[in-house]
C-alpha cells in the first residue's frame, strides 16, 4: 500500500484492518527506505506475511524521485517471502509513484489498484504553484514544491501540453508492454476546482475532478452518494463527505472493490527461502541507490527551478517591451505636451531598462540551473562507474551471476 502527497503509511490503517479480517492475510510491517536490512530481518519472523505498507521518505518529493522507493520495497518483499509478484494499492499521488516505478523498470507488480489518483493532474496543484511562485502561498517549505509541480494539469486551457512529465507517463502507459492489470476507483459528489478554458467547479472529490482520474483502457469505478430521500430507512446524512479525497481511504465499498479486483484474499506467498546474507556488495548497492535517489531529486528540483526562471524571464521580456512602447507613446505626447509626455517617456524608459536587466539576470540563473543539472548527471554516472570498477575488482567466484 503506497500513500499519497504529504501523507504517511498510517493512512492505510482502515484498509489494513479490512484485509487482516481474512484469515489468510498476515501483516508484514512498514517498509522505509534505508531500513531494508531491518525490514528483511523482521520478515524472517513472519514467514506468512503478505500485507505491507510503504512509508515514503519524502511525501513532498516528485513521484520521479520516490518511485525508486516502491521498487526497493518490492525487491525486499520478494526476496524475504519468495513471492514472484506484489499487488500494489495506492492513494492519490501514490498512483503516479507506482506507475512511474513501472516505467522505471519495475515488472513485479501483478495488479495495481489506485484510489483517487490525479492521473491527468489536479487544478488545485496549479493554484498552489501559482500562489507559491507569486509569494502568496508559503505553506510548503522552499524546495519542497516538486511534487505539487508534477501534479499540475496535463493540458493547458488551450489544449496544449502543460505538464510534460505527466503527458509522457500517460502516453507511455497506453502501450506499455507488461504493465500490471489496473483499476481506478475515485469518489464523486463534492464540488472540485477544475479548469477547461475557464476555472470553475466540477464534480469530483474536492481535490481531484472525476474526469482527471481515469486512464484510457483501464477499468474505472466511481464511489458516489446514492442520495436517498430522508424518508428512506437507508438514508444517511453527510453522504457527500464520505466520498471525498481522504474519506475514500475509509470507505468499505472501496475496500470491497479493491479486494474483489485483487481476487479476494491474496494468496499466501511461497515458503521463504531466507533472505540473502548482507554482503559488502549489498551495502554498496544500498548506498548507491540512496545517492542516486538524492541526485534524481536534485535534478528534478533543477528542472523545476529552470522552468520557473524561464517563466519569469518571459514576463520580464514582456515588461521590457511594454516599457519600450510606453517610451514611444511618451515621446509622441511630449511633442504636444512636454509636461505629460516627458515623465511618461521616462517611466517607459525605466520600465524597459528594468525589464531588460531582469530578463538578463533570469536568463543567467536559468543557464546556471542547466550547468548544475549537468554536474548532477555526471555525478550519477561516476557513481555507477565506481560500482562497475568495484565489481570488476572482485574475484570471479565472488561476482554475482547477473
Per-residue pLDDT tens digits for 27-74: 999 999 888 888 988 988 887 899 999 999 999 999 999 999 999 999
Q: What is the pLDDT of residue 236?
A: 62
pLDDT of residue 378: 73
Q: Which three cell numbers stand for residue 348?
A: 517607459
> In the chain, which residues have pLDDT < 50?
265-278
C-alpha dist (Å) from residue 108 to 77, 102, 229, 280? 11, 9, 47, 26
The domain made up of 9-262 has a fold known as Rossmann fold (3.40.50)
Terminus-to-terminus CA distance in the chain, angstroms? 30
Write out the three cell numbers for 96: 503516479
**pLDDT value of position 277:** 41
Using DSSP, state whether 88 is helix, strand or coil.
strand
Give the per-residue pLDDT at 270: 45
Return the axis-axis angle of helices 63-81 and 280-336, rounded to nearest 10°. 170
Which pLDDT score is estimated for 240?
58
Per-residue pLDDT, 272: 43
CA distance 340 to 356: 25
pLDDT at residue 181, rounded to an integer? 95
pLDDT of residue 325: 93
Tell me what pLDDT residue 274 has: 40
Domain boundaries, given as residue ranges, for the chain: 9-262, 280-398
CB 323 within 8 A of CB 348: yes
Amino acid at each position: 500500500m503506497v500513500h499519497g502527497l504529504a501523507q504517511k503509511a498510517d493512512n492505510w490503517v482502515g484498509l489494513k484492518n479490512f484485509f487482516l479480517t481474512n484469515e489468510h492475510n498476515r501483516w508484514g510491517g512498514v517498509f522505509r527506505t534505508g531500513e531494508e536490512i531491518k525490514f528483511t530481518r523482521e520478515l524472517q519472523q513472519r514467514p506468512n506475511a503478505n500485507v505491507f505498507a510503504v512509508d515514503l521518505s519524502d511525501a513532498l518529493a516528485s513521484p520521479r524521485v520516490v518511485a525508486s522507493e516502491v521498487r526497493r520495497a518490492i525487491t525486499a518483499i520478494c526476496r524475504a517471502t519468495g513471492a514472484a509478484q506484489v499487488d500494489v494499492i495506492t492513494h492519490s499521488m501514490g498512483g503516479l509513484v507506482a506507475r512511474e516505478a513501472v516505467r522505471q523498470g519495475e515488472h513485479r507488480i501483478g495488479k495495481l489498484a489506485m484510489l483517487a489518483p490525479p492521473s491527468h493532474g489536479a487544478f488545485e496543484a496549479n493554484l498552489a504553484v501559482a500562489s507559491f511562485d507569486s509569494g502568496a502561498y508559503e505553506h510548503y517549505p522552499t524546495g519542497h514544491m516538486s511534487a505539487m509541480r508534477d501534479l499540475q494539469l496535463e493540458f493547458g486551457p488551450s489544449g496544449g501540453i502543460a505538464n510534460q512529465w505527466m503527458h509522457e507517463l500517460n502516453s507511455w502507459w497506453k502501450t506499455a508492454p507488461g504493465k500490471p492489470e489496473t483499476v481506478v476507483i475515485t469518489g464523486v459528489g463534492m464540488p472540485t476546482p477544475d479548469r477547461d478554458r475557464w476555472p470553475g467547479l466540477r464534480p469530483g472529490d474536492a481535490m481531484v475532478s472525476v474526469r482527471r482520474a481515469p486512464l484510457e483502457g483501464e477499468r474505472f469505478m466511481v464511489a458516489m452518494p446514492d442520495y436517498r430521500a430522508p424518508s428512506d430507512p437507508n438514508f444517511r446524512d453527510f453522504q457527500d463527505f464520505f466520498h471525498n479525497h481522504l474519506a475514500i481511504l475509509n470507505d468499505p465499498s472501496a475496500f470491497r472493490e479493491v479486494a474483489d479486483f485483487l481476487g479476494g484474499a491474496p494468496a499466501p506467498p511461497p515458503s521463504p527461502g531466507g533472505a540473502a546474507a548482507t554482503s559488502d556488495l549489498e551495502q554498496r548497492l544500498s548506498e548507491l541507490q540512496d545517492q542516486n535517489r538524492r541526485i534524481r531529486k536534485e535534478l528534478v528540483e533543477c528542472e523545476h527551478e529552470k522552468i520557473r526562471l524561464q517563466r519569469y524571464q518571459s514576463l520580464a521580456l514582456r515588461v521590457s517591451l511594454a516599457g519600450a512602447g510606453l517610451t514611444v507613446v511618451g515621446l509622441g505626447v511630449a511633442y504636444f505636451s512636454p509636461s505629460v509626455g516627458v515623465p511618461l517617456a521616462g517611466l517607459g524608459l525605466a520600465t524597459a531598462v528594468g525589464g531588460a536587466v531582469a530578463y538578463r539576470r533570469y536568463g543567467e540563473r536559468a543557464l546556471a540551473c542547466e550547468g548544475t543539472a549537468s554536474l548532477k548527471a555526471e555525478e550519477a554516472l561516476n557513481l555507477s562507474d565506481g560500482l562497475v570498477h568495484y565489481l570488476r575488482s572482485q574475484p570471479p567466484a565472488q561476482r554475482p551471476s547477473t
